[in-house]
A and B are shown apart, each in its own frame.
Chain A
Amino acid sequence: MHSLAFDIAHMFAGAMLVASFALLYQRRMSGIVDTYVVHSLILTVAAGWQAYIQDAPHLYVTAAIALVFKTLIIPIALRRIMRRLDIHRSVETVLGIGPTMLLGVGLVALSILLIFPVTESADAFAREDLALALSVILLGLLTMITRRNAITQVIGFLSLENGLILAAVGVRGMPLVVEISVAFSVLAAFVVFGVFFFRIRERFDTLDVQALGEFRGERR
């Protein structure tokens, strides 16, 4: 079944994998948010394409959720909060960028090693899509644990969730996809809000203008 439709589905999964690697590569905060926007955009198009070729209209809803919520609302909110709270501009990593990306390739190998021998009887295209989606999930997890900054950890979590949605839409006939998408999106929103309430409380403690003035020695 070497048809163009499945090739295009593969291309989208591969593009999401490249976007996950690009997420690992970024050093600047604005770069990370922009890469996440691209990541979600590819998910939108992939979900839409799957809706088209599987003839499953409820997947269009998933695509719409990804577009509105993940490509527009969350990044705008993130950028606004980043500007307000004057968050540090570069990302600190636990390992260097090179070793992190090498670990990423290792994780892709691991997910292929996991999926391929287990699903010998399944359709070849479904296996590959599943392997690529699992790689995106593992790379999201890697992004979370190799960064010290809370914002990047949130984005790692969001990209992990994108990978889960990709896996769900890739499998033909998966039930409750839309419900899963909504649930994950609400979860993501709560996580984002949680992180920001925490940071705002921290910041407001030290952003107290009077305390700052005392430190500078201007007010006796």
Chain B
Amino acid sequence: MSVHVCLFAIFVLLSGCPAGIWAARRPGGSALIYSVCAAVAAVMAGTALGVLVRPGETAGAVLPMGVPWLQAHFEIDALSAFFLLVINLGALAASIYGMGTGRSEPEAGRILPFYPLFLAGINLVLLAADAFTFLLSWESMSLASWALVMAHHRQSETQRAGFVYIVMAAFGTLALLLAFGLLAGTGGNYAFSQLRQAGPDAGLGVVVLLLVLIGAGSKAGLAPLHVWLPLAHPAAPSHVSALMSGVMTKVAIYALLRILLDLLGGVQWWWGALLITLGALTAVMGVLYALMETDLKRLLAYSTVENVGFIFIGIGLGMAFQANGMNAAAALAYSAALFHVLNHSWIKSLLFLGAGAVLHATHERRLDALGGLIRRMPYTAFCFLVGSAAIASLPPLNAFASEWLTLQAILLSPDLPQWLLRFLVPAVGALMVLAAALAGAVFVKAFGIAFLGRPRSAEAEAAQETNRHAGAAMTMLVVLCVLAGIFIGPVLHVIQPAVAAIVERPALPGFGIADIAFVAPTGVGGGSYSGFFVFLFVAMSAWGAALAIHRGASRATRRSPAWDCGFALNHPAFQYGAGSMAQPLRRIFGTVVFRATETVEMPPPGSVEPARYCTTQRDPAWDLIFTPVAGVVAAIADRIDGLQFLSIRRYLAMMFAGLVALLILVALWR
């Protein structure tokens, strides 16, 4: 029943695609399309929540479409339902935002047809229960998002972003195609139920793992395949960026979990070791890139890379525990990872919608051209502040809770028998907490430079508050983030059926719906945390202190120019900018990782020219991996280009040689 509701909703979305072409030319058209998308998202989120709270119901449907001997299989189980819930709440927020800004969008004709298609593709990936449907939906999701990224196609930066994105997306889909092919073998039975029964095979598992890491990992943003993310996510319109960062990366994580843990099975401990290493490197690299960034949306994109790293650390720990039979610890690690999926999706959508509001009001993405927006756009500033505090893992907000759970899982790791894991996990833990602390620095910079201080440009001075639809979308996400941080127990209770779909385990204490107050994952005597009480204590202490002082002491204030140690000349350009805020950390980390240099060109004495200060950085992923690979590919392409100019006899000889080679292969194989 739930499956049919979802499929009908997706059909409505697919019909929105041609409707979007029609609606782009009508004045109220974009509002109509976005409201239909919002309604559909709400319905799907509700359905998914229903499936999650009534565990044991695995509904399926087979539609007579697609490949003739296979048909299209769809299924909702607890894991899909969880991801459906996460994704549709993010889609709901983005669609509500779109209702507000859609009418002033110049390229509506390029966005409206593809937006419903994108949502449909995302939801179909989660519902797909056979390899063809999965890959078809995955590819439609990629292509629709590519079309949305190319919406503002006249800017050269967008063109480059689109090119890199389509190459990486195609490459990723190819890897997933090969992975499914290997899983199905020569039998040709591609339905998930049959792939599940095939059972694990050791040698096959290695290749499938690597292919899935390339395919799903590149879509999620795993280093070093993350390079398309900071190009493509900022180039798209803001609500689409929110969907790509907050939602599409989570679909990739779903694909990884589904293929590796459900279809392949037979988890090995070194899979866990590989995933936590990649996750730790991704987290640290992502946050270091974000620190060096001066563009607000690209900073948020790199922060997505960092959080995907955290999620991979949680999943890797779960795999390591599961392979060693420590199922309770595995359940804790997986719960932490899935909780972080939920948290990051909401927080990143909130931040991107806020950045979109700023971009819409000032037409500026560069942090060094913003400033003082807390007075011009107070509500947006408040929502962005909550988002920044959340992503910097401050208690009692939600991302702190998932980080706390992951750290508790790390503390259970000394019981792991493998030596490599015992050395790797402390190092990974150190990298993870380093990344979390650096994320705090990143968001002090992002919020402080963009919203606080004085306006650094005329556009920032003239900014207006955003419309009420964007405000409503951001409010919804702020409320969700705060509630998820305070009432952790019920949220974890909703996650448990999804975890149970991955690993068999006893019920974890403190994860029940009645445990509103405390979370104590390792039982009595272990560490425990109560978001509710921490929130209560801090709020009461702050309010009580303010009350006591205002009543007992003075509450007088007076305005005056800033003291600034007596400097009279106080131009806004003297404020710290994004590059200056990052300078101490750039000196420490940037010289090693990015080969960052600072040079000062002083004019000769007596000259009135200004001195120039410039910093340079090199991106190690491009320098070490992609530029050499692109060079090799270009060199090979140049050689092969010679094939364009052969004579007819040579072409015939080539075809004959190919035919003979294939016949030899067939003869030998037999």
Q: Could you list which residues of chain A lie within 8 angstroms of chain B, going by C-beta atoms?
A: 96, 98-99, 109, 112-113, 116-117
Q: Give B430's nearest chain A residue, CB to CB.
A: A105
Interface contact B423-A113, CB-CB below 8 Å:
yes
Query: Are B419 and A113 in touch, CB under 8 angstroms?
Result: yes
Give the residue name and chain of the B residue nearest to A117 (CB).
B419
Across-interface contacts of B423 in A (CB, < 8 A)? 109, 112-113
B592 interfacial by beta-carbon distance below 8 Å:
yes
**In the complex, what residues of B have CB within 8 A of residue A99's CB?**
592
Q: Which residues of B contact A116 (CB under 8 A)?
A: 419
Q: Are A96 and B419 in contact (CB under 8 A)?
A: no
Inter-chain CA distance A139–B588, complex, in Å, is 23
Q: Which residues of B contact A109 (CB under 8 A)?
A: 423
Chain B interface, >50% SS class: helix
Interface residues of B in 385-437 (CB under 8 A from A): 419, 423
**Nearest residue in B to A99 (C-beta to C-beta)?**
B592
CB distance from A114 to the nearest CB of B (A): 11
Q: Which residue of chain B has its CB nearest to the CB of A116?
A: B419
How distant is the Cα of A109 from the Cα of B421 in the complex, in angstroms?
12
In the assembled complex, the CB of A92 is this many whole angstroms from the nearest CB of chain B, namely 16
Chain B neighbourhood of A98, CB < 8 A: 588, 592
Can you pick out 9 interface pairs between chain A and chain B where the beta carbons lie within 8 Å of each other? A96-B592, A98-B588, A99-B592, A109-B423, A112-B423, A113-B419, A113-B423, A116-B419, A117-B419
Q: How many B residues touch A, CB cutoff 8 Å?
A: 5
Least Cβ distance of B383 to chain A in Å?
38
Q: Which 4 A-B pairs have the closest CB atoms?
A: A109-B423, A113-B419, A117-B419, A99-B592
- Additional A-B contact list (5), CB under 8 Å, known A98-B592, A99-B592, A109-B423: A96-B591, A112-B423, A113-B419, A113-B423, A117-B419
Residues of the A chain whose Cβ atoms lie less than 8 Å from the Cβ of B592: 96, 98-99
- How far is A98 from B585 in the complex, measured between Cα atoms in Å? 13
A98 to B434, CA, bound (A): 14
CB closest residue in chain A, given B423: A109
A214 vs B419: C-alpha distance in the bound complex, in angstroms?
A: 65
Q: Per-position contact with A for B588-632: 1 when CB-CB < 8 Å, else 0?
A: 100110000000000000000000000000000000000000000
What is the CA–CA distance of A44 and B523 in the complex, to the nearest angstrom?
46
Q: What is the bound-complex CA distance between A99 and B589, given in angstroms?
A: 11
Which residues of chain A come closer than 8 Å to B591, judged between CB atoms? Answer: 96
Distance between Cα atoms of A218 and B588 in the complex (Å): 46
| Alpha-carbon distance A96/B591, docked complex (angstroms) | 10
In the bound complex, CA of A112 to CA of B423 (Å): 10
Distance (Å) between the CB of B611 and the closest chain A CB? 28
Complex Cα distance, B588 from A49, in Å, reads 42
Residues on the B chain within 8 Å of A117, using CB? 419
Please indicate the chain A residues that have their CB under 8 angstroms from the CB of B588 in the complex: 98
In the assembled complex, which residues on chain B have CB atoms less than 8 Å from the CB atom of A112? Answer: 423
B590 nearest CB across to chain A (Å)? 12
- List the A residue with the shortest CB-CB distance to B591: A96
Q: How far is the CA of A113 from the CA of B592 in the complex (A)?
A: 27
CB distance from B275 to the nearest CB of A (A): 20
Tell me the minimal C-beta distance from A213 to chain B in angstroms: 33
A115 to chain B minimum Cβ distance, whole angstroms, is 12
Residue of B nearest to A96 (CB): B592
In the complex the two chains form, what is the Cα distance from A112 to B426 in whole Å?
14
The 8 A CB mask of B58-82 against A (1 = contact, 0 = none) is 0000000000000000000000000
**Smallest CB-CB separation from B420: which chain A residue?**
A113
Give Cα distance in the complex from A109 to B592, angstroms.
22
Determine how close the nearest CB of chain B comes to the CB of A137; give it in whole angstroms: 19
Q: How far is the CB of B429 from the nearest CB of chain A, in Å?
A: 13
> In the complex, A113 Cα to B418 Cα: how many Å?
11
Instruction: Say how far B597's CB is from chain A's closest CB, in angstroms.
Output: 15
Q: Which residue of A lies closest to B588 (CB)?
A: A98
Contacts of B419 in A (CB 8 A): 113, 116-117
CB distance from B280 to the nearest CB of A (A): 14
CB distance from B421 to the nearest CB of A (A): 12
Smallest CB separation, A46 vs chain B (Å)? 27
Q: How far is the CB of B511 from chain A (nearest CB, A)?
A: 35
Cβ contacts under 8 Å, A96 to chain B: 591-592
| Chain B 531-553: CB-based contact to A (< 8 A → 1; otherwise 0) | 00000000000000000000000
Write the nearest CB–CB distance from B417 to chain A, whole angstroms. Answer: 12
Closest to A105 in B: B427
**How many angstroms from the CA of A151 to the CA of B220 in the assembled complex?**
51
**What 0/1 readout, one digit per residue, does chain B (175-200) give for beta carbons within 8 Å of chain A?**
00000000000000000000000000
> Considering the chains assembled together, what is the distance between the CA atoms of A99 and B588 in angstroms?
11
Task: Quote the shortest CB–CB distance from A132 to chain B (angstroms).
Answer: 16
Cβ distance A150 to chain B, nearest Cβ, rounded Å: 27
What's the minimum C-beta distance from B591 to chain A, rounded to whole angstroms? 8
Expressed in whole angstroms, the Cα–Cα distance for A213 and B15 within the complex equals: 94
A118 smallest CB distance to B (angstroms): 12
Q: Bound state CA distance, A99 and B592, in angstroms? A: 9
A212, B492: Cα distance in complex, Å: 79
Chain B residues, Cβ within 8 Å of A113: 419, 423
C-alpha gap A113/B419 in the complex (Å)? 8
Q: Give Cα A42 to B601, complex, Å.
A: 51
Which B354-403 residues sit within 8 Å CB-CB of chain A?
none
Q: In the complex, what's the smallest C-beta–C-beta distance from A77 to chain B, in angstroms?
A: 38
Complex alpha-carbon distance, A172 and B592, angstroms: 45
